[in-house]
Structure 1
């Protein structure tokens, strides 16, 4: 009897958990799909009118203008637009559920130099925040830990999965590091004067980073006791793992460029880069891409142009720098990524150039451009159909979305609430 009672309790618990769980991830693609009549925005600057797109087994097999040959299920998208899935960078998506609830936050670990910490392990595929990305076309994301000087390893995930193993698209593709600040705000709790002052320990902080990198390089060539932080750096030195370095002011950025050269690092990415326009030529020459933050933000200094954050992508692009649009390790705000791209189109960039910054360019930066980021034969069928311009709030209205050919749900907690209250007030009118 006791065993039966325990079984019934377990069944009730599972039914309750199922009732509050995320949308069930879509099964593997079982039949071919053909999308006809749409305007296809390839992601590399190309636009194909009256496009026919065929995909099967999770891969795009055909994309062309016109054509009468169809295969499998046909989706008539006449008058609509098809885009590659948007790719978010530098996020804590899936690592934070409610920022004010500490128990739901799993993005930080103790320590200063912790490249061996893997953000992917803590990724919650059933996060309600994660499912809210898909209705706006954000179908992939780079998730990363934060904290310390070297925060840990980032990974790329697709946003329709049962668990982190299913979600993982490219694991441990880079490590994130915060460059020391040249200015430091007074810490009132230590009795220091308020306001910003030069960081007197700036050079010392840089030397600590250099020492860690040098020790890690020496460790990779030696044999001895296992050291997890040093061991986690080996792929940085052989060039297969990116080093994402957060820096914003001009001196910081120049020092990052010099550091990359001194350490012989071949895969460095600048994150933030608020004053990167001042050294854009140096970044282009060093082949260092930039992940910008908050292009809808305000200028950080009173004497800066009011529109500096808005026009920064254009300034860097004109200098030959590869630019992606990202976030300052945020989570729920990621759903607004397409509208960040739409913002910069009003300051000198075309829609297709802005689209690159949330599709092809992030894919290039993270080393996944051979399989995703654009609509092309042989690449993953990670794409969506929108009623209008997906970079505009008025046109971003998805009717279908696919991740690796899987027909995914566009329902979320927010869409359910919207329908619920629309019905309520519709009935009361």
Structure 2
């Protein structure tokens, strides 16, 4: 019996090692020079026939390959290819759930409604096979965000080549996430109610609940704190402005109420997430310097009288209004669909935004909104060498074919469970 148990454990460990994510790449020890590629810097600029060099995990040179300068280390000939900064997904629950149908693998939310002290980072699973599948499309970083409740918890930003969450972290506890009440509710058809939208009679009650909670936290933080209350302590950052309050809200009325209410409460470092109808309150957002993390473009209009392509054009409208916009991934199949992040940006590009501005949504803009633009988001000297080489346009699923990829200078594998199956069955049918 004991021998069988030992053999069973060894088998389990062996199989677990087989299906686990690849071993993270070792620290960069040799320098690299990427020569001849069209470099998309992530800030709207493009360098044809570029030269990019990096050493010890940091970019050391960005310029034209015609310049007379000694190449460092291994030279990668990237002529007729393109080089990009690693893409960043905002508002994602990657690593917090693996298989939606298996409850034991889902850790995206907690019981309760006011949970600012819940930290997503300590639940983040670096061994997720879903995360592994992001990298072949150039998605190397994400804001890991909790879900549920009125105040869901605190997010953190990670990179996708790490042994554990401590190694993965780019920025810990970057902001608190709040789900603003919906000003409209949909009738419950199973109770005989009209299934259409109608004003939410509990909308003001929900706002009052938020105001009371934040006011109680402010009173606690100003007091002597004789007894420690973790949920109130967790709001100190958003109240003093050192952390951002990410407000998940849509609709003209909802956005207006959220901005005005939070500012009255002394919360000024605000980011709007989702932002349907944000174009209708662009002046309010611009006046208060409030960024917007948009949803994926591939969705239906919110109301019957909206243009069918308004979701595709919203990025262009907000950009023209001078609002800083990024791209998030919350929604159906959000973890698996995050690999398509560059292609959602590509849709915004096709509907007026343009390729380089669309690229900024998932590079420089997301980095600025998440507070990591000092490290990543653009190809600049001194920033992390988190970048990749593609055979073609990275915002086009037909040509986004990565040949080389680096995270903090480490040359990473682009193999995943999916690529292994693809190769296996491609060979089967070739024979």
Instruction: Name the stretch that deviates more: 298-307 or 398-407.
Output: 298-307
Q: Pick the aligned partner of 2:355 from 347, 351, 359.
A: 351
C-alpha separation in 2, matches of 1:37 and 1:194: 58
- 1:374 aligns with 378
Alignment of 1:195 onto 2:199: no
C-alpha separation in 1, matches of 2:319 and 2:275: 13
Q: Equivalent residues in 2 for 1:170-209 (5 A)?
A: 170-188=171-189, 192-209=193-210
Q: Per-residue displacement from partner, 1:42-82 (whole Å, max 9, x unpaired)? A: 00011111111111111001111123421111111111100
Per the alignment, in what secondary structure is the counterpart of residue 157 of structure 1? Answer: strand
Instruction: Name the stretch that deviates more: 408-417 or 158-167.
Output: 158-167
- 1:128 aligns with 129
- 2:100 aligns with 99
Instruction: Name the stretch that deviates more: 214-223 or 124-133.
Output: 214-223
C-alpha separation in 2, matches of 1:202 and 1:12: 55
- 1:410 aligns with 414
- 2:338 aligns with 334
Gaps (5+ residues) in structure 2?
Answer: none
Q: Equivalent residues in 2 for 1:1-400 (5 A)?
A: 10-66=9-65, 67=67, 68-188=69-189, 192-222=193-223, 223-328=225-330, 330-400=334-404
| Count of residues paired in the alignment | 426
C-alpha separation in 2, matches of 1:424 and 1:10: 33
C-alpha separation in 2, matches of 1:260 and 1:45: 33
The CA deviation at 1:348 is 1.2
The CA deviation at 1:256 is 1.4
Q: Per-residue displacement from partner, 1:113-158 (whole Å, max 9, x unpaired)? A: 0011111111111111100000000000011110100000111010
Please give the root-mean-square deviation of Cα atoms over the aligned residues, in Å.
1.6
Instruction: Name the stretch that deviates more: 395-404 or 188-197.
Output: 188-197
The CA deviation at 1:425 is 0.4
Q: TM-score, normalising length from structure 2?
A: 0.96
C-alpha separation in 2, matches of 1:414 and 1:8: 30
The CA deviation at 1:309 is 0.3
The CA deviation at 1:347 is 1.4
Q: TM-score, normalising length from structure 1?
A: 0.96
C-alpha separation in 2, matches of 1:13 and 1:101: 19
Q: Per-residue displacement from partner, 1:225-278 (whole Å, max 9, x unpaired)? A: 111110111111121111110111100011112023212222100011110011
The CA deviation at 1:9 is 5.4
